[in-house]
Amino acid sequence: MTNTTTTRSRFTRRIAAAAALAVAPVLAFGLSPAAHAETGTQHYQGCDDHKGDPIWDGVKPPAHGVGEHSPKHPGRNFDIQWPGHDSTRGWAVHPGVDMKTTQDLLVVPTVRETGIECDNLLRGDAPNYFKHAYESVHFMTGGPDWALGINSADARRLNQLHIHLTRLYAPARDDIAQAVKAGKVSTDEHKWVDQVVEITGHNDKWQDSKHQYRAWITDSVDANFFKKLDDDIVAPLHKQGKSAAMAHETLLITRNPAGKGFVVLESNTTSGIHGVANIEGILDKR
């Protein structure tokens, strides 16, 4: 009886060890669909347009053990985080256009994710990229007027999801503060779609002009703002018969210059407001 029990025990341990060895290399590089033991979450399946992209090339993790970028080897990135050693749920703080300044940064998923239109961003288990971007504000220099913004598929140049982390344009900050003080922006999320404010932006020659944004104040960055955008803006506009889709949307989050919390701005050029297809005009990357 003892010998049989011992043999079965050894056999069980050998099977378990073999299974662990088979899974371990895949888990190490975030490629398995199985649940991750440390996070208790599924590996995150990316949204890939099957085309190369220079931003993706600057953050992508190792493939099958062959190096690219990792938390220990960030390359030109200022930071890379893989929660629970899972690269599919990670992000990088990536330099902007000139690859040096910390006044123009990008927060980029370390899984292939085309952009704001990706349906997987609406899932309940999606990484909270805006929260991760907010937690990366300390990498930026240039004062307290930080802004986190993402452009629409209609008006972006590159196709790897990236959240701009830079300064807010000063005239835009002033307009937002005045709108909040005037009671034009509330904390009622359900009014977001109807709270349209005019905000001063600039063109590439730094000439000012005003465009319209829908605005809402939130007290937390813990929400999935892609899902909020789809539920509170895109779906209601679609029901109204307007041309509405996540691909047309641009989104920005900044501190509330008139009080507590954060101001969330949305705009597009397809739903009847004098909007914009990207948020570059209310950013100051200088």
Dump pLDDT digits (tens) for 14-42: 334 333 333 333 333 333 333 344 444 57
pLDDT at 63: 82
Residue 212 pLDDT > 50: yes
**Cβ count within 10 A of residue 24:** 10
Mean pLDDT (whole number) for 221-239: 97
pLDDT averaged over every residue in the chain: 87
Amino acid at 218: T
pLDDT at 141: 86
Residue 118 pLDDT > 90: yes
Residue 45 vs residues 30, 42, 83, 113, 245: alpha-carbon distances, Å: 10, 9, 15, 9, 22
Asked which of 18-22, 48-52, 121-125, 146-150 is least confident by mean pLDDT, the reply is 18-22
pTM, 2 dp: 0.85
Residue 194 pLDDT > 60: yes
Residue 99 pLDDT > 50: yes
Cβ neighbourhood burial of 209 (10 Å; 0-12, 13-18, 19+): exposed
pLDDT at 172: 97
Under 8 Å between Cβ of 62 and 68: yes
Q: Which CATH number fits domain 99-286: 3.40.50.880, 3.40.640.10, 3.40.190.10, 3.30.428.30?
A: 3.30.428.30
pLDDT at 22: 34
More confident residue, 145 or 189: 189
More confident residue, 224 or 18: 224
Q: How far apart are CA 239 and CA 205, in angstroms?
A: 38
Q: What's the pLDDT band for 52 if we cut at 50, 70, 90?
A: confident
pLDDT at 51: 80
239 Cα distance to chain centroid? 26
Residue 233 pLDDT > 50: yes
| Per-state percent for the chain, helix, strand, coil, to nearest 5 | 30, 20, 45
pLDDT at 64: 62
Q: How far apart are CA 152 and CA 114, in angstroms?
A: 11
Q: How far apart are CA 119 and CA 104, in angstroms?
A: 27
Cβ neighbourhood burial of 260 (10 Å; 0-12, 13-18, 19+): exposed
Mean pLDDT (whole number) for 97-120: 91
pLDDT at 143: 74
Under 8 Å between Cβ of 123 and 133: no
